[in-house]
Amino acid sequence: LLRTARVCEDIILNSKNELVGHIKIASATTSGNYFIPNILAAFQKEHPKVKTMVTSKSRSYVIDELLQQNIDLGVIGREVVHKDLESFLIVEDNVVLIVPNGHAWTKREQVGHDELYYQPFIRRTQATSTNEVLYDTLRENGIDASKFNIVSQLEDAEAVLMAVENGIGITFISEMMASRSLALGKVKKVPLFGVNIKQPIYLVRHNGKLNTLATTRLWNFIYENRESLIYEMIFNLSQL
């Protein structure tokens, strides 16, 4: 009933041909937390009376809240299959191995699997889709992450990145998130022999008829402009 009342209010508010509304978004990916604000900035330039709120949550929370229609959109790192939900791929992020500037590997074209075990490794403790994809891919390639020489465990991805910048150790991280540090030369990405780790990122919504006009417009805006918006963001960061 509350959702229906909100949609009715939305129809009245938007009757003057000026898009207004409030959109709640929950993100379960590190990359999503990074690029969603850039997408929203572009959207809200066109529709300044639309307000947005973005929170970081677990994948299960995002899915549950979407099913209960307590949030409007979700950003998750693995595709969800449910009769009441629909999604599309926004982008595929790379999960890359990074080392501090000045590390011996910065001059290497690639490193071998076993070499990972002998380096100080910084591990992110928070359960994320990126971590799931990372460790699943490493396992599939015969790499035992339990053998890593873990010198620091941090919950926040930005803290992990800062630790690498400060020379504490190496790690795997979202390339999108590390793009600024890579552009500034604070860290260096090093290819791992034969391993290519991809993190898909999906936008999800409830497929019922109770989506507000603002939510529908944002959904369409991201779908139609996702490639150019992501490219523009990464290009701007690489020019620093």
Tokens of 45: 């330039």
Q: Is 35 helix (H, G, I), strand (E, B) or coil?
A: helix
C-alpha span between 189 and 173 (Å, rounded): 10
pLDDT of residue 51: 95
pLDDT tens per residue across span 114-135? 999 999 999 998 777 888 889 9
Please give the C-alpha separations between residue 221 and each of 12, 75, 198, 215, 224, in angstroms, as whole numbers.
Answer: 22, 15, 24, 10, 5
C-alpha span between 159 and 201 (Å, rounded): 22
pLDDT tens per residue across span 140-161? 999 999 999 999 999 888 999 9
Cα angle at 120 between 118 and 125, to 5 degrees?
A: 120
pLDDT of residue 129: 80
pLDDT of residue 68: 93
pLDDT of residue 231: 80
How confident is the model over 85-94, as a mean pLDDT? 94
Write the CB contacts of 68 (distance below 8 Å, at least 6 apart in sequence): none
In the chain, pLDDT over 70 holds for what percent of residues?
A: 90
Please choose, from the candidates 40, 16, 14, the residue with its C-alpha nearest in 3D space to the C-alpha of residue 27. 40
pTM score of the predicted model:
0.84
Tokens of 28: 């379960």
C-alpha span between 90 and 228 (Å, rounded): 11
pLDDT of residue 154: 95
